């Protein structure tokens, strides 16, 4: 991280950490996507982020008469993110639609025939948008993530680009600036990234997985058989639990609450992903056993037992060849 002229420059990982730490009192319900048009790739030297950001601030303050630079964030061709206006202020980016918004200006000209977006910038735009959705609890759809083009220039009326609109964030921004382009091209990338981030956050705090071997197992508020039962249903035979903490013979199975089970009634299992397009599930550990189902590439399974390179993936008799699972 580097700071100059009051702006902070970050890569995406630094932005993630910074965004988690920053407190925002203002309620945010929209993320705006823009392109700067000018400056664009021809003005970027690879090291003049702060100067370009200062230039935009000067234009916004001294030519436009605004209180500060219009946008909260600028994303540069090398994937760097620069802070701009404080998140406690509405941006000055879409006429009549700035309240409760966060404004991202993507540096470049993304109209057809303009700049061809770098992979680094593309990845940063997707991830910053996903991180902002997580931060402000926004759904990934076209009511929460909006393009400047969808709002009429003279009065801010949302006409989805039917006439009297800017092309911003560019007629070639992720394949187009229309609502359907956003839905078809941009939002699926944001959704995939968001799921990936959430999955990773959860994964990082999981010590291991364990399958329940008792018919029914009580969940208690502490790591002792004398402690009270937690206000939740007992867990059932074959259920795969996430273990977040281990104390004596007890497992903490919630990331957010003090909910514990006795480890004596569980068996450790390991998580794997299917790497074959389709994988047959059989009733025993070998290809001669009858086929009882199929699972697919990317599916997650929890292996209870391995026998002759065959893995049992449930508490009952469902087996797959371990050759087609990751991490064996
Ligand atoms: Zn714009």
The predicted model gives 9-29 an average pLDDT of 97
Query: Whole-angstrom Cα distance, residue 22 to residue 34?
Result: 23
- Residue 178's H or E segment, with its range, is none
Residue 185: is its pLDDT beyond 90?
Answer: yes
pLDDT at 276: 94
How sure is the predictor about 266, in pLDDT bands with cuts at 50, 70 and 90?
Answer: very high
Token pair belonging to 261: 């089970």
Residue 57: is its pLDDT beyond 90?
Answer: yes
Strands 2-4 and 7-10: antiparallel
The second-level CATH assignment, the architecture, of 208-268 is Roll (2.30)
Residue 17: is its pLDDT beyond 90?
Answer: yes
- pTM for the model stands at 0.78
Residue 234: is its pLDDT beyond 90?
Answer: yes
* 198 CA → ligand 1 middle, Å: 30
pLDDT at 210: 98
Best CA proximity match to 31, nearest among 111, 122, 128: 128
The predicted model gives 187-208 an average pLDDT of 91
The predicted model gives 218-234 an average pLDDT of 97
The second-level CATH assignment, the architecture, of 274-324 is Roll (2.30)
pLDDT at 203: 83
Query: Whole-angstrom Cα distance, residue 194 to residue 127?
Result: 8
pLDDT at 130: 98
The predicted model gives 144-152 an average pLDDT of 98
How sure is the predictor about 199, in pLDDT bands with cuts at 50, 70 and 90?
Answer: confident
* 13 CA → ligand 1 middle, Å: 26
Q: Tens digit of pLDDT for each residue in 91-126?
A: 999 999 999 999 999 999 999 999 999 999 999 999
* 2 CA → ligand 1 middle, Å: 26
Return the CATH class of domain 2-204.
Answer: alpha beta
* 82 CA → ligand 1 middle, Å: 17
pLDDT at 26: 97
* 105 CA → ligand 1 middle, Å: 7
Residue 201: is its pLDDT beyond 90?
Answer: no
Reported for 194-202, long-range contacts at CB under 8 A and 24+ positions apart, including other chains, are 194/130, 194/133, 194/134, 194/140, 197/127, 197/130, 197/131, 197/134, 198/134, 202/242, 202/255
Contact present, 8 and 83 (Cβ < 8 Å): yes
Domains of the chain, residue spans: 2-204, 208-268, 274-324
* 156 CA → ligand 1 middle, Å: 12
* 197 CA → ligand 1 middle, Å: 28
Residue 242: is its pLDDT beyond 90?
Answer: yes
How sure is the predictor about 202, in pLDDT bands with cuts at 50, 70 and 90?
Answer: confident
Which residues have CB under 8 Å from 15's CB, separation 6+?
81, 127, 128, 131
pLDDT at 109: 98
The predicted model gives 163-170 an average pLDDT of 98
The predicted model gives 278-307 an average pLDDT of 96
* 85 CA → ligand 1 middle, Å: 15
Q: Do domains 2-204 and 274-324 have the same CATH topology?
A: no
* 108 CA → ligand 1 middle, Å: 11
Mean pLDDT of the chain: 97
């Amino acid at each position: 991280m580097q700071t100059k002229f009051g702006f902070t420059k970050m890569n995406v990982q630094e932005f993630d950490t910074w965004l988690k730490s920053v407190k925002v009192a203002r309620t945010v319900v929209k993320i705006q996507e823009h392109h700067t048009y000018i400056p664009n790739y021809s003005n970027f030297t690879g090291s003049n982020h702060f100067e370009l950001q200062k230039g935009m601030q000067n234009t916004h303050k001294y030519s436009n008469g605004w209180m500060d630079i219009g946008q909260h964030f600028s994303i540069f061709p090398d994937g760097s993110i620069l802070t701009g206006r404080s998140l406690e202020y509405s941006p000055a980016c879409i006429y009549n639609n700035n309240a409760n918004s966060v404004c991202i200006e993507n540096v470049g000209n993304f109209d057809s025939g303009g700049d061809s977006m770098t992979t680094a910038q593309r990845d940063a735009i997707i991830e910053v948008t996903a991180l902002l959705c997580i931060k402000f609890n926004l759904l990934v759809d076209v009511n929460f993530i909006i393009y400047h083009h969808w709002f009429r220039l003279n009065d801010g009326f949302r006409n989805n680009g039917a006439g009297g609109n800017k092309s911003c964030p560019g007629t070639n921004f992720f394949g187009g600036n229309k609502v359907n382009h956003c839905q078809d091209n941009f939002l699926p990338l944001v959704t995939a990234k968001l799921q990936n981030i959430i999955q990773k956050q959860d994964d990082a705090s999981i010590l291991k997985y364990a399958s329940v071997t008792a018919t029914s197992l009580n969940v208690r508020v502490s790591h002792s058989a004398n402690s009270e039962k937690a206000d939740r249903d007992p867990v059932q035979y074959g259920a795969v639990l996430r273990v977040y903490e281990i104390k004596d013979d007890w497992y903490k199975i919630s990331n957010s609450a003090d909910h514990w089970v006795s480890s004596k009634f569980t068996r450790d299992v390991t998580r794997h992903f299917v790497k074959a397009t389709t994988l047959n599930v059989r009733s025993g550990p070998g290809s001669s056993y009858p086929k009882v189902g199929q699972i697919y590439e990317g599916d997650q399974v929890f292996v209870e037992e391995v026998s002759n390179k065959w893995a049992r993936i449930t508490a009952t008799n469902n087996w797959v060849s371990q050759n087609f699972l990751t991490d064996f």
